[in-house]
Amino acid sequence: MIRDAKKEWLIAFVLLTPFLAVYGLIFVYPTIDMFLLSFTDAPLIGDGDYVGLENYTRLAHDRRFDTAIWNTAYFVALSVVPGTAVALAIALGVSRLSGRMQALILALFFLPYILPVSVVYRLWDWTMNFQFGIAMHVFDMLGIKRVPVFKTTTWFMPAVAFITIWWTCGFNILLFLAGLRAIPQEVYEAAALDNAGRWTTFRKVTWPLLWPITALNLTIQLILQMKIFDQVYLFSIGGRPNDNLVMVYYIFQRAFQSNHGGRAAAIAVVLFVIVVVVSVLNFQLTRFSGSGRR
């Protein structure tokens, strides 16, 4: 059969068009627009005048921007690696179970993941309520002084990170379980024949063979947590919002509260660049370390 290259190209183009159109309309165009917007003094809705780099230069001595950067970094540090480690530990435990028991335990760990963030917020807000929360009564019983968890800067980020891990680790556990099941049983049998202990088996077999999944988990978490907003926003209501700022929260404040579309876009561009750089670095690092191990 003679291939008609021109026709094939045409078919490919026709098939791709719907995707390209939608992708262009709802991703590429807004992204370009965001860059353009960041050089203007536009309000949230409507056009503004060109102001050059002013929106960027003023970030250098913007206190709230500083807070947002540091808090985001702090939150990433508190949630990405710990979250992945917790998920791995739980997955290793769950994989030792079998049958219905495994399904049940897995379901229990997965349950929080299906909750919407608003419900998660309500649950924990009530639990930690300084005057009436259940946790505070436990504190009283143990003789510990009550802690206004979401109202002090010391406890806010660790608490939100903890809740985020509790809430989202179900998904990571599933990824790890899939990874664990993909490791051939023969490898473990061979290790057992060589008299390898549990720790050695984990270190020499499970860990390296699971590394691609671990790397994937870390990357997903990293990107996700840099864009943290919902939990921080909800738990800050009425509290100390400007002390708890994270990047997306600050974008929200600028755009929707202060009506500064241009300045919000500039912060969004900075976050965009950070996410791109960090993701690429993370990808390269995990790939490098992965290939080094094998």
Interacting residues toward other proteins by CB under 8 A? 43-46, 62-64, 129-132, 148, 151-152, 237-243, 253, 256-259
Q: Which of 220, 222, 224, 244 is nearest to 234 (CA)?
A: 244
**Are the CB atoms for 43 and 263 separated by under 8 Å?**
no
Q: Which of 111, 79, 125 is nearest to 227 (CA)?
A: 79
- One-letter identity of residue 288: F
CA 253 – CA 268 distance, rounded (Å): 12
**Are the CB atoms for 225 and 164 separated by under 8 Å?**
yes
Cβ 73 to other proteins shortest distance, Å: 20
Cβ 131 to other proteins shortest distance, Å: 4
Q: Hey, what are 204's tokens?
A: 């020499």
Residue with smaller CB distance to other proteins, 54 or 62: 62
Cβ 134 to other proteins shortest distance, Å: 13
Residue with smaller CB distance to other proteins, 242 or 282: 242
Cβ 243 to other proteins shortest distance, Å: 5
- One-letter identity of residue 39: F
Q: Which of 78, 56, 75, 74 is nearest to 65 (CA)?
A: 56
Cβ 151 to other proteins shortest distance, Å: 5
* Residues forming beta bridges with residue 50, ordered by sequence position: 40
CA 41 – CA 264 distance, rounded (Å): 10
Residue with smaller CB distance to other proteins, 98 or 154: 154
Cβ 34 to other proteins shortest distance, Å: 16
Residue with smaller CB distance to other proteins, 132 or 199: 132
Residue with smaller CB distance to other proteins, 44 or 191: 44
Residue with smaller CB distance to other proteins, 37 or 210: 37
